[in-house]
Amino acid sequence: MDLRESLIAARAAARRLAGLTGPERSRLLADLAEALARPEARKAVLDANAQDMASAREEEAAGRLGSSLVKRLLLDDKKLDTSIDGIKQLADMPELVGRTLTHRALDHGLILKRVSCPLGVLGVVFEARPDALVQITSLAWKSGNAVALKGGREASASNRALCAVAHQVLSAHGIDTNAMVLLEERAEVDALLGMDDLVELMIARGSSSFIQHVRSHTRIPVMAHADGICHMYLHAAADPAMAARLVVDAKCSYPSACNAVETLLWDPEASVALDSCVSALSAQGVELRGCKETRKRHPQMNAATGADWDTEYGALILSIRQVAGLEQALAHIAHHGSRHTDVIVTQDPVAATRFLAEVDAACVFHNASNRFSDGYRFGLGAEVGISTDKLHARGPVGVEGLLTYRWLLYGHGQATTDYGPGGRHYIHKDLPVDG
């Protein structure tokens, strides 16, 4: 099939997925988790990833590929086990497709329901992270959607191996494998963007320039997972030991992740907390780039430039800037942030409350690492991405972000002309929501 034929078949497969019962959907996901855990499938997937990694390391050595991308490309036993666990979480979650959201009597015998339903066919273009394919596929199945996927070329062998396992599971359940279409060529992405008659939502994960390319080449609604320029702010009342522990976790546990902290802000009164952070980060080998005031206190630090405040490093590099207080911290985040995840470290509840209320980001935390911004950690089972948009879905996007709703009306022959002056009256009585 060409791509258009595959997507036409995907729409039909989406109807089949949408029609599954809750137990059938759970069984489909449980079987996917079981299939990926089988020794032969695991070996095939990890061998394919080893092939991708070998090619990527050659590209990295030649200076054609960044080290942060190579790190994201790795799929090992731990990452695969985490993905499998996420699928199991999704399988055990309550059924969200077909859930009654509104139940209202417009009149006696005239009942209105608002019911959740799948979107249909999702188009997802994502970076070279094979475990993302597993998360996206399992969320599509849990939400009753078909999906057309295009991963980074560096992960081609890994994605093909994972797709082969998923197709086996679909076939075993009597579902057309076009419920999951894997795009192989870059040219297919632009072709996909032109098929607004077949695709309901584009999910774009990548750089700001790539997101802009997607948005400017399609009429399909786009949900963006863009830059992760995340901040941690050390308020005057920050606990030094807590601050050091949190910033090390937020920077060093997975530096190439989009939820890793990139800029540390600090109040003059938080200088002890800053010292603790600098010491802990330096011990982890983090390159620190400081503003003039920061370098007065830590002269060994490299000088930050204006570009550093707008950079997502994806590596063990952190920019540090002194701010005059909460007001200036909020202004810096508003100007330089990417609306992803921002954190305040403070023992002052008033300052924390204001920070959480005024920072315009998908995720805003108090005394917790930026790295908690994650669908798996939020209990969503997985995520198709972390949306930095405001409409439809925001932050880690799980099943609910892939659903829309329909209005269903149950009557007994009523007509609108029955209502009005001298006629019947609407009662608009809310009824119990039965799920």
Per the DSSP assignment, residues forming a β-bridge with 364 are 342
Share of the chain above pLDDT 70, in %: 100
Domain shared by 172 and 294, yes or no = no
280 shares a domain with 160: no
Q: What phi and psi values does residue 261 have, to the nearest 5 degrees?
A: -70, 140
Q: pTM for this structure?
A: 0.83
- CATH number assigned to the domain comprising residue 24: 3.40.605.10
Are 82 and 148 contained in the same domain? yes
Q: Is residue 119 part of a domain?
A: yes
Asked whether residue 143 falls in the same domain as residue 238, the answer is no
Instruction: Provide the 8-state DSSP code for 148.
Output: E
Q: Are residues 398 and 346 in the same domain?
A: no
Residue range of the domain that includes 358: 230-372
Count up the domains in the chain and report the number: 2
What is the mean predicted confidence (pLDDT) over 251-279? 96
Residue 146 shares a structural domain with residue 243: no
Query: For the chain, what is the total number of helices (H) and then of strands (E)?
Result: 14, 18
The residue among 141, 131, 132, 45 whose CA lies nearest residue 90 is 141
Beta bridge partners of 103: 113
Q: Each residue of 335-389: pLDDT tens digit?
A: 999 999 999 999 999 999 999 999 999 999 999 999 999 988 998 877 888 888 8
Residue 243 shares a structural domain with residue 349:
yes
Q: Is residue 366 part of a domain?
A: yes
Instruction: Tell whether 392 is covered by a domain.
Output: yes
pLDDT value for 176? 97
Note whether 333 and 397 are same-domain residues: no
> Rounded distance, CA 157 to CA 228, Å?
27
Looking at the structure, tell me whether residues 289 and 326 fall in a common domain.
Answer: yes
User: How confident is the model at residue 21, as a pLDDT?
Assistant: 95
Q: What is the pLDDT of residues 10-61, one digit of tens each?
A: 999 999 999 999 999 999 999 999 999 999 999 999 999 999 999 999 999 9
Whether residues 217 and 240 fall in one domain: no
The CATH code of the domain that includes 349 is 3.40.309.10
CA distance 187 to 177: 22
- Which helix (H) or strand (E) segment holds residue 349: the answer is helix 349-358
**Percentage of the residues of the chain whose pLDDT score is greater than 90:** 85
